[in-house]
Amino acid sequence: MRNLSRQLPPLSSLVAFDAAARNLSFKQAAQDLNLTQAAISRQIRLLEENLGVRLFLRSHRAVRLTPEGRSFAHVVAGSLEQLANGAQELRTQSQGTTVAVAADLAIASFWLMPRLSRFRALHPDISIRVVASDELPESLREEVDVTIQLGKQDDSGQDARFLFEAEVFPVCSPDFLARHPGLESPEDLLATTLLRLEDERWDWMDWQAWFTENHVQLKGSRKDIYINNYPLLIQAALSGQGVALGWNHLIQDLLASGMLMRPVAASVHTRRGFYLLLPEEKPPCPDVDIFCDWVIAECRIDQPS
């Protein structure tokens, strides 16, 4: 690992050099930094000794940058500005609240992100950090304030607020449906390409369980497409590559727009639902409460009349 402390000049000398380079005047630099002109001159000399090059050409009335000084001035100005901006951003964040929201990739992609602009329009002063991950420990990190996930009410040991039930049904693109006419029942789907989710963490319903619930046997050698990421699986369905299992509230916008269709009417209501989880050990936070109330209100809007 690089030892930056040995390679970097002292920060005070860089600040003095930046001021002197901008003003082309040690006197003006001293005034800008509330230092003496002698202090500025000393800092520049120390910097030149550290770098082994002359940065200024000095005369009785003025100073000029050497070619090396001009080149270095661009680097120093940009670096100091970036440091200042980063420090200011941290100061701003420390003065307000950022609500960290965790969700798996499916919920974050298809439910949260399409609606988040509505929350921002209502509450522009609340900063939101989205943690999208299919790894459960990632969703329950200490710095996460709210988690939206599929589960049971007694799964987490956290404050769990029910959002909506999980209903699962086949979906495909209009193009795929046009190329496979005559799909009327779950049995008819056996003759199509199934898009199958292959993710060991997810306990979401798969095709085997869905067909079992509909009294159909999925057996024999098949040439289906297996994908370990639900957003990619839905993308495959959108591009007409097969039939996927859709979760009602996650893909309802795609259904409403006509980008996805239900080839058969059959569906399965699972014993799981989507929940809003809040760590019980965290102190109350008004901004977190505002976000939770908004999520619940959005779910009510999503409910069919």
**In which band, very low, low, confident or very high, does the pLDDT at 305 lie, cut at 50, 70 and 90?**
very low
**Is there a contact between 217 and 190 (Cβ–Cβ < 8 Å)?**
no
Question: Where is the domain boundary, 94, 123, 144?
Answer: 94
The answer to the question of residue 178 being in a domain is: yes
| Residues 34 and 78 both lie in one domain | yes
Sheet containing 98-103: order of strands: 127-132, 98-103, 146-151, 268-278, 159-171, 244-247
Residue percentage of the chain with pLDDT more than 70: 90
| Residues 173 and 242 both lie in one domain | yes
d(CA 281, CA 159): 10
Query: Is residue 186 predicted with pLDDT exceeding 90?
Result: yes
d(CA 185, CA 101): 39
Among 13-27, 111-125, 149-163, 291-305, which is the least confidently predicted range? 149-163
Q: Which residues pair with 179 in a beta bridge?
A: none
Please name the residues in contact with 110: beta carbons below 8 A apart, sequence gap of 6 or more.
231, 234, 250, 251, 253, 254
pLDDT, position 92 = 61
The answer to the question of residue 138 being in a domain is: yes
| Residues 147 and 290 both lie in one domain | yes
**In which band, very low, low, confident or very high, does the pLDDT at 59 lie, cut at 50, 70 and 90?**
confident
| Residues 9 and 64 both lie in one domain | yes
Residue 14: is it exposed, middle or buried by C-beta count within 10 angstroms (0-12/13-18/19+)? buried
| Residues 184 and 223 both lie in one domain | yes
Question: Where is the domain boundary, 94, 116, 133?
Answer: 94
More confident residue, 247 or 97: 247
Structure tokens given for 161: 């607020």
The answer to the question of residue 290 being in a domain is: yes
d(CA 241, CA 257): 19
**Residue 22: its H or E element:** helix 11-23
Q: Which residue has the tokens 């940009």?
A: 78
d(CA 11, CA 107): 46
| Residues 208 and 251 both lie in one domain | yes
| Residues 152 and 277 both lie in one domain | yes
The answer to the question of residue 303 being in a domain is: no
Pairing of strands 268-278, 159-171: antiparallel
The answer to the question of residue 39 being in a domain is: yes
d(CA 280, CA 14): 48
The answer to the question of residue 304 being in a domain is: no
The answer to the question of residue 217 being in a domain is: yes
Task: Provide the residue range defining the domain that includes 106.
Answer: 101-157+273-298
Listed residue (199, 172, 175, 204) closest to 188, CA to CA: 172
d(CA 23, CA 30): 10
Question: Where is the domain boundary, 39, 72, 94?
Answer: 94
d(CA 292, CA 162): 11
Name the domain count of the chain.
3
Each residue's pLDDT tens digit, 156-173: 556 888 888 888 999 999
Provide mean pLDDT across the span 198-202: 67
Each residue's pLDDT tens digit, 73-129: 999 999 989 998 888 777 666 555 788 999 888 889 999 999 999 999 999 888 899
Provide mean pLDDT across the span 57-61: 83
The answer to the question of residue 305 being in a domain is: no
CATH of residue 184's domain is 3.40.190.10
**Is there a contact between 56 and 65 (Cβ–Cβ < 8 Å)?**
yes
